[in-house]
């Protein structure tokens, strides 16, 4: 079995001679071993036909040995830099067109290829390469389930400790501790802990100088990363009590969340899901508070295809996982977001997240 | 005061019309506010003369408002993508040559610039741009001190709990919990917990299927990230007892570490520091176990300039911070690394890390 068969097919489909991978989600999935580089140039080149080849920092060769690479490796020392290794690669494996992962590869690697291959036509193959991991395997789903279990346990424990007078930063700390205490290996992303007017910012930063007040909305958006897969869940609660406005807004967001889960199934498009969710919000009295689309794919990256938005006519297929996270945000007021992680099943969909969605009052 | 004065000077020095920043360490330092984007294209363009301009996802405009940007912003919705916003940028701010951060900017942003500015000459300005943060400010050093305090407390607490029979994964979990318990906001990097033969891999991954044995070397390499600055410390201990070989190797590595601290001062070069450290290891009976250079700069990134290696004739200046982390690694045997974070002071140097360096036996 050629573990590069799918990538070779992508190369042929894109009309390129080869696909280059750098460490990241696609690399992890294909190579089955974590591998690390940071400031050092690294790339694996998988041609449409024939043996792959790689440029690897000499420092990483012991780790690289564990990957069990089948092709030629050109290594280099920090003292001399990667230029000669890339030149050797170019002599070994001539290329005219190369597809790269535009969302993952950084410009210095791009430039290293261009220097070694003058006139090389580098195309952004991100969509085609990452499409290979759209349908999650059973093994990936089992790992994701655990990442979600960890995240939901952390969310529950954190909410149990919330009370007025705590700063957003303090609650952020409680949440991060709870994530790691429950088994997270990493944060999938820096959690969002946003109270009061900060909850109206979709990507707010926790403030050290804002203490939670009675009546505040409190939005928590977090996820554990576990064995390479990422959870992503948001709940918005109210502290002490909820105003009438809060109840009405919350009901609209929850109805939109339910609409997304009601329509997502194999054969539906990402557009249709967003349209169903947004239609609920647009028909509410709060249409002017819409700031975001419905959601994004979730897996080895926190944000990946399929992006659940109008205009994306990608058809949903079994095994795809994405967030449904409608929100309403009144600038200077408060925001509400309810985010679940949804799996497309053979005949419908299922929320992998099961944390209660009802309006919840905490801290009393 | 023009907060872009230094960047404008870099642009003139590189002979480019402008410098582009994407979210990351340079952006954080210049803009003084954290800002987040992931799969969405974002860039700030700072010309050598005149007002800056930016392309920002519409979703992030509430956060962008907090940055207090002085120039024109071109935003875009996910549904339509960033192409029109980059085209508007190009119409507003013509450019022939642009410097980018090669280690930070990803290829899809590079391609967005090339599409909007056909024929644009994009040069990698990473070294010149990042050189602006070589000398740490007093405020940055205070933050780094706290990140180091957190890391050393976590290291001490973890080592107190080590005993034979624990897996590397278990110790990794203890270490991560201890980091967050002590106040880390993030891991500066995925910690390394490597015992026995795994300690001989400079960037090992913790194993779930290896239990620590009596006599094992145990290498812990970790760092807290706190308010945007990163600590990085390694200690190697021995479990239960240490062999004669372990004692001899450890002494050689410690002597090399001391040599680095002995020579680092303003006016010395990175080359000279690495040369002093490596000379100690090369003169030991274990020269064939050298795998790595002396160290790397440390600050808003875990790996940044100055890189402490032979051939790098960069002159050390007060305020620079870098690691001194000599190691000896016998493949199939064990490895030892002793890593400190070192600040160049006005007349000498000082280790910011103060964790004991003597050979330590744990778990008995």
**Is the pLDDT confidence value at B202 over 80?**
no
pLDDT digits (tens, 9 = 90+) for B15-69: 999 999 999 999 999 998 878 778 899 999 999 999 999 999 998 888 898 889 9
Q: How many CA atoms lie within 13 A of B155 on its CB side?
A: 30
Mean of the per-residue pLDDT values of chain B: 95
How many interchain CB pairs under 8 A, A with B? Answer: 126
Contacts of A102 in chain B (CB under 8 A): 106-108, 111
In percent, how much of chain B has pLDDT > 70? Answer: 100
CB contact under 8 A, A62 and B107: no
> Quick check: helix, strand or coil at residue B19?
strand
Contacts of A101 in chain B (CB under 8 A): 107
- pLDDT of amino acid A89: 98
Closest approach of B258 to chain A, Cα-based (Å): 22
- pLDDT of amino acid B1: 67
Task: Give the per-residue SS3 of B194-252.
Answer: EEHHHHHCCCCCCCCCCECCCCCEEEEEECEEECCEECCEEEEEEECCCCHHHHHHHHH
Low-confidence winner among A81-85, A312-316, B58-62, B307-311 (lowest mean pLDDT): B58-62
pLDDT band at A1 (very low <50, low <70, confident <90, very high): low
**Is the pLDDT confidence value at A250 over 90?**
yes
- DSSP 8-state secondary structure symbol assigned to residue B119: T
Most A-contacting residue of B35, B37, B62 (CB-CB within 10 A), to test interface: B62
Closest approach of B302 to chain A, Cα-based (Å): 9
pLDDT digits (tens, 9 = 90+) for B77-110: 988 899 999 999 999 999 999 999 999 999 999 9
CB contact under 8 A, B203 and A63: yes
pLDDT band at A60 (very low <50, low <70, confident <90, very high): confident
Sheet containing B229-230, strands listed edge to edge, beginning at the edge strand earlier in sequence? B186-187, B224-226, B229-230
- pLDDT of amino acid A38: 81
Q: Which residues pair with B72 in a beta bridge?
A: B53
- pLDDT of amino acid B52: 98
The answer to whether residues A193 and B55 touch, using CB atoms and an 8 Å cutoff, is no
What is B162-200 written as a DSSP string? --TT-BHHHHHHHHHHHHHHTT-SEESSPPEEEEGGGGG
B197 touches chain A (CB under 8 A): no
pLDDT digits (tens, 9 = 90+) for B142-194: 999 999 999 999 999 999 999 999 999 999 989 998 998 898 988 999 999 99
Helices A244-263 and A270-283 cross at an angle (nearest 10°) of 160
CA B190 from centroid of its chain's CA atoms: 12
Q: Which of B78, B100, B202 sits opposite A59 (nearest CB)?
A: B202
Q: What is the interface pTM, i.e. ipTM, of the complex? A: 0.88
B181 touches chain A (CB under 8 A): yes
How many Å apart are CA B325 and CA B232, to the nearest integer?
10
Q: Which residues pair with A218 in a beta bridge?
A: A195, A237
How many Å apart are CA A55 and CA A87, to the nearest integer?
10
pLDDT digits (tens, 9 = 90+) for A287-329: 999 988 999 999 999 999 999 999 999 999 999 999 999 999 9
What are the residues whose beta carbons fall under 8 Å from the beta carbon of A170, sequence distance 6 or more?
none
pLDDT digits (tens, 9 = 90+) for B111-123: 999 999 999 999 9
End-to-end CA distance of chain A: 59
- Residue in B221, B230, B218, B229 with CA at minimum distance from that of residue B203: B221
Using alpha carbons, list the distances in angstroms from residue A290 to A279, A286, A335, B14, B57: 11, 8, 10, 43, 15
What are the residues whose beta carbons fall under 8 Å from the beta carbon of A83, sequence distance 6 or more?
A76, A112, A115, A116
Interface of A with B in 266-295 (CB under 8 A): 291-293
**Is the pLDDT confidence value at B258 over 70?**
yes
Sheet containing B121-124, strands listed edge to edge, beginning at the edge strand earlier in sequence? B72-76, B53-57, B43-47, B18-21, B97-100, B121-124
A214 touches chain B (CB under 8 A): no
Chain B residue whose CA is closest to A180:
B177
B302 touches chain A (CB under 8 A): yes
pLDDT band at A79 (very low <50, low <70, confident <90, very high): confident
Handedness of CA A245, A249, A251, A254 (dihedral sign): negative
CB contact under 8 A, B177 and A180: yes
Closest approach of A331 to chain B, Cα-based (Å): 8
**Is the pLDDT confidence value at A257 over 80?**
yes
Around Cβ A52, how many Cβ atoms within 10 Å? 23
CB contact under 8 A, B106 and A108: no
Average confidence (pLDDT) over A123-151: 97
Sheet containing B233-239, strands listed edge to edge, beginning at the edge strand earlier in sequence? B192-195, B217-222, B233-239, B361-362
pLDDT digits (tens, 9 = 90+) for A87-134: 999 999 999 999 999 999 999 999 999 999 999 999 999 999 999 999
């Amino acid at each position: 079995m050629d573990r590069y068969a799918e990538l070779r097919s992508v190369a042929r489909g894109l009309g390129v001679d080869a696909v280059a991978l750098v460490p990241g989600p696609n690399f992890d999935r294909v190579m089955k071993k974590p591998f690390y580089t940071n400031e050092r140039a690294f790339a694996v080149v998988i041609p449409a036909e024939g043996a792959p080849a790689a440029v690897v920092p000499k420092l990483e060769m012991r780790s690289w040995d564990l990957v069990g690479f089948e092709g030629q490796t050109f290594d280099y020392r920090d003292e001399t830099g990667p230029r000669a290794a890339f030149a050797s690669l170019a002599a070994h494996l001539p290329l005219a067109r190369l597809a790269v992962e535009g969302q993952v590869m950084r410009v210095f690697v791009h430039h290293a290829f261009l220097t070694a291959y003058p006139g090389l036509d580098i195309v952004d193959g991100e969509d085609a390469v990452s499409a290979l991991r759209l349908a999650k395997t059973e093994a990936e789903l089992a790992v994701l389930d655990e990442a979600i279990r960890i995240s939901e346990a952390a969310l529950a424990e954190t909410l149990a400790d919330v009370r007025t007078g705590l700063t957003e930063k303090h609650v952020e700390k409680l949440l991060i501790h709870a994530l790691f205490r429950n088994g997270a290996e990493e944060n999938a992303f820096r959690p969002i802990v946003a109270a009061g007017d900060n909850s109206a910012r979709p990507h707010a930063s926790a403030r050290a100088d804002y203490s939670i007040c009675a009546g505040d909305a409190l939005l928590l958006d977090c996820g554990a990363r576990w064995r390479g897969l990422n959870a992503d869940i948001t709940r918005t609660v109210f502290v002490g009590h909820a105003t009438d406005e809060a109840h009405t807004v919350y009901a609209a967001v929850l109805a939109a969340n339910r609409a997304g889960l009601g329509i997502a199934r194999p054969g539906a498009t990402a557009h249709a899901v967003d349209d169903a969710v947004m239609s609920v919000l647009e028909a509410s009295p709060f249409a002017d508070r819409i700031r975001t689309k419905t959601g994004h794919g979730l897996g080895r990256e926190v944000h990946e295809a399929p992006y659940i938005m109008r205009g994306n006519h990608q058809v949903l297929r079994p095994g795809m996982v994405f967030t449904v996270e409608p929100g309403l945000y009144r600038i200077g007021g408060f925001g509400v977001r309810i985010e679940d992680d949804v799996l497309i099943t053979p005949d419908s969909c299922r929320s992998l997240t099961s944390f209660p969605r009802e309006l919840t009052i905490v801290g009393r």
